[in-house]
Structure 1
Amino acid sequence: MNNLLQSFIQVTPESDFPIQNLPYGIFSHGADAAPRVGVALGEWVVDLAVLEANGFLEIKAGEYYFNQPTLNKFIETGKANWSKIRAELQDLLSSDNPILRDNQALRGQVFLKQADVVMHLPVHIPGYTDFYSSKEHATNVGCMFRDPKNALLPNWSELPVGYNGRASSVVVSGTDVVRPSGQIKFPDQERPVFSACRKLDFELETGFIIGQPNALGVPVAIENAWDHIFGMVLFNDWSARDLQQWEYVPLGPFNAKTFASSVSPWIVTLEALEPFKTNSPTQEPLPLAYLREDLSSNSYDIHLSAELQAANQDRADVISNTNFKYMYWSMAQQLTHHTIAGCNLQVGDLMGSGTISGPTPDSYGSMLEITWNNTKPLTLSNGEQRSFIQDGDTLIMKGYCQKDGLRIGFGEVTGKVLPAVEFNFSE
């Protein structure tokens, strides 16, 4: 990647979106405008539908890939076209290319302020799977709810543990989240009660988007897995811990996870993340042959943070700083294991990393860990305390890579918690 490449559009050094990034998203502008494809450049959205209509970014004659309400049609064209369009955009937007730079009329149509557009879910998501791949997080949870000496179950170090979630409740950043209700079982009571969730939590995650499908019954080999990934997003897999503790045995999470999962609007491509590849942690025991890969360059150095802003606060408090590089199981290993029994992944499928926690308390990726299940309440800058998330609280997650003067960011994913729906049940 050319760190010296400059755009004719001014981009500040602290921006997540230099010309070396160009993440894809879906936006609309104006009351009646249809959603369409854009990329982020500094504080601007570059309207790819307008460029396409003016003869740029051609993939197949007579076909339109960017005047679309999702990215799926473009993603389906394949990896070669992902690279082709990215290269053409970088050339078109570069400071030494006069074609767009000097065409003021076209520039006025192509560039829209991010502050003036509405962002939408970037892809149609046929299926959603969430993993449990942070060793630090799994160990912390195991210590809280099981024997600390046997915090990890025997299968955890042998395979990327995961579950199939609900694609229908994945929402784009900025969507409010209604507090869920369900069954809660208290230790001193014989039967559960129906109640609004009392232990609402966030999970600081990333996700990756499937860009190339596989046929039913044909697993993806580990050496080919990276070719099936289009890009990455920030991901908040909201969790109702009290509902989860009662329902998850024996089949895993259900209503505790189905009510909402929030994704960032911009998908950062693997090409943009290439300079930030790093080592994964050592895996012991050595995985079975189908999961073995070179650990020296199969992860990314992505700084991640979570912030909480109470309803009456002027600013948010940073409550977690962690890094994607702590993940024990890689995205390629997750994808390969997902298909090993013959599952057919589809373009647009979303794969969540699972909560990403680091080795120290300030790097824990959930309230469950930060407050150690309500035993160590968190004090906010305004003096309020939190054990879990309250109504009116807003969660903000951010992520970026930085190296040698280059910053590639994801923007943010936010969500505000609204009160639970009131139910009146007649006995």
Structure 2
Amino acid sequence: MNIKANDPSLKSWVMVSAESDFPIQNLPFGVFKTDYLTAGAGVAIGEYILDLTYLHENGFLDGLGLPSGVFNQQYLNSFIGLGKKITRKVRNRISELLNRENEELRDNKPARELALIPIKEAVMLMPVNIPNYTDFYSNEHHATHVGEMFRDKENALMPNWKHLPVGYHGRASSIVPSGANIHRPKGQLKPQGADKPLFGTSKRLDFELEMAFITCKENGMGNPVSTVEADEYIFGFVLFNDWSARDIQFWEYVPLGPFLAKSFASSISPWVVTADALEPFRTKGPEQIPEVLPYLQYAGDKNYDIDLEVYLQPEGEEENLICSTNFKYMYWNANQQLAHQTVNGCNLKVGDMYASGTISGAEPGSYGSMLELSWKGTKPLKLKNGEERKFLEDGDAVIMKGCCKKNGVRLGFGELRNRILPGK
């Protein structure tokens, strides 16, 4: 796939630092508001947001097949639902407008000043309205670690794990953006050795480092989507934190799986990095043994080389890097996940969100949850201020970051940051 907006030689007339997540090769989409602008769509470039409503209303995006008012909305659903043929044209046009050789905006000072909004002046909102949310369990390292903790090494993976992407339907209504505070959840707990459960506040609150993709096309009920077709259904990706109350989860999850331990909150980064922008960073996934069934087989590189980091910041203290891993470690890729989701005829909606499951590497510093990092609380993490953590404490902020690097281009997802507050 040759997408001209991905050319590593491109430079913008907007100043973009080498450390920025948002060079001209990225151009992620989001929804923002300011003190003087209502919610609308924008694209990140360096330290600025390019206001798509302004560009559309003033003729800069003419001829691209865009309906009136498509960007002047609270969510991106109407735009991404136009399909990747049109959204790709829009991204290419934005790349042209921001190219340092193009004078249309560069030399039009009144338009430039109205179209470019400093990110520091904006509040980022949920980028999409999410009709449905599925959480997968697709990283072999994480699944093995959890299996070892709660079963044994010989039976770490359940018999079905290498035959299908295990997943469950989560709660879409409690997905929130970066910056939202997360209140510690309450529920039933059964302490070790107790005869019966009690009601209380979770003491084993955890994060889960994940990525999630967003769909941009409907298949219609009864119509499976193949691994080949899946690319046309995947608009882009965000960072995803699947908050988890481990003590509530341990008591409730048999026989039907996660419920209150997960549904209280998940959070996402506000900028949707398009699958088109990530095209140069595709890489091979791990070999799948045994061979998967035909509907899950695929050709080409379907994993992504995305470096991921998690920081823990106690209130008023420094950030502590506690996890460094990579999205390429996923055993089941997004195309397989979507093919499995729909093989029974399940219908997709525009804006659906599909989370990867916790992303862990093989080494302790690459584990994507506190459950693994502290090994179920038996190996507390040492922080810079001398404190220890088995699980998250009130006041702690969890910060997730992700970026790709290749051919002199660095592009990222922005920051996903949320702080833990006491239970209500």
Provide the TM-score with structure 2 as the length reference.
Answer: 0.97
What corresponds to 1:250 in structure 2?
A: 255
Per the TM alignment, residue 62 of structure 1 is displaced from its structure 2 partner at its CA by 5.7
* Structure 1 residues 72-113: Cα deviation after superposition (integer angstroms, max 9, x where no partner): 000111111011001100001111111100010011111111
Match of 2:344 among 341, 346, 349: 341
Q: Which amino acid aligns with 2:243?
A: W
Distance 1:62 1:43 in 2: 28
Distance 1:197 1:140 in 2: 22
Give the secondary structure class of the aligned counterpart of 2:398.
strand
Distance 1:187 1:100 in 2: 64
1:77-92 equivalence runs, <5 A: 77-92=82-97
1:146-165 equivalence runs, <5 A: 146-165=151-170
Per the TM alignment, residue 229 of structure 1 is displaced from its structure 2 partner at its CA by 0.1
Kept after mapping to 1: 8 A contact 2:174/2:264: yes
Distance 1:357 1:308 in 2: 17
Q: Which amino acid aligns with 1:149?
A: E
Distance 2:196 2:52 in 1: 56
Per the TM alignment, residue 312 of structure 1 is displaced from its structure 2 partner at its CA by 3.1
Per the TM alignment, residue 221 of structure 1 is displaced from its structure 2 partner at its CA by 1.2
Distance 2:25 2:349 in 1: 28
Q: Which amino acid aligns with 2:39?
A: P
Distance 1:284 1:61 in 2: 45
Q: Which amino acid aligns with 1:323?
A: N
Match of 1:127 among 129, 132, 140: 132
Distance 2:45 2:282 in 1: 22
Unmatched 5+ stretches in structure 2: 1-5
Distance 2:236 2:394 in 1: 33
What corresponds to 2:293 in structure 1?
A: 288
What corresponds to 1:369 in structure 2?
A: 372
What corresponds to 2:410 in structure 1?
A: 407
Kept after mapping to 1: 8 A contact 2:98/2:106: yes
What corresponds to 2:48 in structure 1?
A: 44
Give the secondary structure class of the aligned counterpart of 2:386.
coil
1:17-416 equivalence runs, <5 A: 17-30=22-35, 33-58=37-62, 59-60=64-65, 63-294=68-299, 296-313=300-317, 315-416=318-419
Unmatched 5+ stretches in structure 1: 422-427
Distance 2:67 2:46 in 1: 31
Per the TM alignment, residue 217 of structure 1 is displaced from its structure 2 partner at its CA by 0.7
The two structures, once aligned, show a CA RMSD in angstroms of 0.9
Distance 2:313 2:198 in 1: 30
Give the secondary structure class of the aligned counterpart of 1:105.
helix
Distance 2:67 2:323 in 1: 48
Give the secondary structure class of the aligned counterpart of 1:415.
strand
Distance 1:246 1:61, change over 3 A: closer
Per the TM alignment, residue 408 of structure 1 is displaced from its structure 2 partner at its CA by 1.2
* Structure 1 residues 278-332: Cα deviation after superposition (integer angstroms, max 9, x where no partner): 00000010100000012x511110000000000130x200000000000000000
When structure 1 is superposed on structure 2, of 16-25 and 1-10 the one drifting more is 1-10
Kept after mapping to 1: 8 A contact 2:211/2:355: yes
Distance 2:92 2:315 in 1: 44
Distance 1:234 1:2 in 2: 24
* Structure 1 residues 374-393: Cα deviation after superposition (integer angstroms, max 9, x where no partner): 00000100000000000000
Q: Which amino acid aligns with 1:63?
A: S
Distance 1:86 1:159 in 2: 34
Q: Which amino acid aligns with 2:241?
A: N
Kept after mapping to 1: 8 A contact 2:209/2:242: yes
Distance 1:87 1:285, change over 3 A: same
Distance 1:276 1:217, change over 3 A: same
Distance 2:346 2:61 in 1: 34
Q: Which runs of 4+ in 1 moved over 2 A?
A: 58-62
